[in-house]
Amino acid sequence: MSAALVIEHLTVRFGAVTVIHDVSASFEAGRVHAVVGRSGAGKSVLMKAAAGLVPRASGVVRVQRPPLVFVHQDPALLDTLSVRENVAFAAAHARGLSRADARARADQALVRFGLGAVADAAPGALATALQKRAALARAACLRPGVLVVDEPTTGLDPEAAAAVDEALALLPSEGTTLIVITHSPRTIARLAPRLHRVDAGRLQATA
Ligand SMILES: Nc1ncnc2c1ncn2[C@@H]1O[C@H](COP(=O)(O)OP(=O)(O)O)[C@@H](O)[C@H]1O
Ligand SMILES: [Mg+2]
């Protein structure tokens, strides 16, 4: 098996409090993974530490094909830019792309994620599900080797959640290994991921 992401003996502390305890995990390339566990278990901190967004006290993280991109729960789109400009901004930062190629990549992502009709809208004018799809399109533009998405459907009504699930299902295609942090049985049913269960800062099981 080739691993898209390997975490070895990862420990994270906030002050005197240890939140992640010596976690080792391997995420097989080309599969979809779900990180599950109850609220406060350490799912976000574990994956943020893997992404380098939270400092680690110890441990090693190896990414087979960078970049590893982390999509936060909050879509955090830039409100002074249109949806297209938000996505194009990320595409422009993908290494080695000309401006024309970046724009083409952004337009392709907008269509793929069903955002063609709202490309010129301000993100704030869109329903949450569309904002989340835009955040996923923006991340996909970076062609990440590993894409971690934190609770993409939490707080959404079933219809909006289904729209986001549909977008998630598009992500594993282009050589991206998708890791979704989720509580949603529907997302899990749809993506049929390998499950990594976190409890009290420890990895309980992989199934
Ligand atoms: N920046 C922080 N500073 C201190 N404690 C934090 C911080 N972020 C998270 N924690 C704590 O770490 C634990 C795990 O949080 P988190 O990974 O966000 O849980 P979840 O599994 O719900 O994603 C929780 O007890 C939380 O309060
Ligand atoms: Mg979380």
Q: CATH number of the domain at 158, please.
A: 3.40.50.300
Q: How much of the chain is in helix, strand and coil states, percent to nearest 5?
A: 35, 30, 35
Residue that the structure tokens 């595409």 belong to: 91
Number of neighbours of residue 107 by Cβ within 10 angstroms: 17
Q: CA-to-CA distance for 52 and 104, rounded, in angstroms?
A: 30
Domain final position from 87, 104, 133? 133
The answer to whether residue 154 scores a pLDDT higher than 80 is yes
Same domain, 58 and 18: yes
In this structure, which residue's CA is closest to atom 14 in ligand 1?
A: 42
Distance CA 107, CA 27 (A): 30
What is the C-alpha separation between 105 and 94, in angstroms, rounded? 10
State whether the beta carbon of 30 lies less than 6 angstroms from ligand 1: no
Q: Looking at the structure, do residues 61 and 162 belong to the same domain, yes or no?
A: yes
The overall average pLDDT reported for the chain is 93
How many independent structural domains does the chain possess?
2
Compute, in angstroms, the gap from residue 18 CA to the centroid of ligand 1.
Answer: 10
Query: Cβ atoms within 10 A of the Cβ of 161, count?
Result: 20
* Residue 93 pLDDT class (50, 70, 90 cuts): confident
pLDDT-derived band at 174 (thresholds 50, 70, 90) equals low
Question: Cβ distance 89 to 79 under 8 Å?
Answer: no
pLDDT of residue 144: 93
Using most ligand atoms within 8 A of CB, pick from 23, 44, 45, 198 the residue to mutate for ligand 1.
Answer: 45
**Does 168 sit in the ligand 1 pocket, CB within 6 Å?**
no
**196 and 155 in one domain?**
yes
Look at residue 139 and tell me if it is in a domain: no
Of 68-72, 89-93, 113-117, where does mean pLDDT reach its minimum? 89-93
d(CA 183, CA 16): 29
Query: Ligand 1 pocket, 52 CB below 6 A?
Result: no
**Which residue among 133, 164, 179 closes a domain?**
133
Ligand 1 pocket: which of 17, 19, 180 to mutate (most atoms <8 Å of CB)?
19
Residue 73 lies in a domain: no
Q: Which residues constitute the domain of residue 43?
A: 3-67+144-206
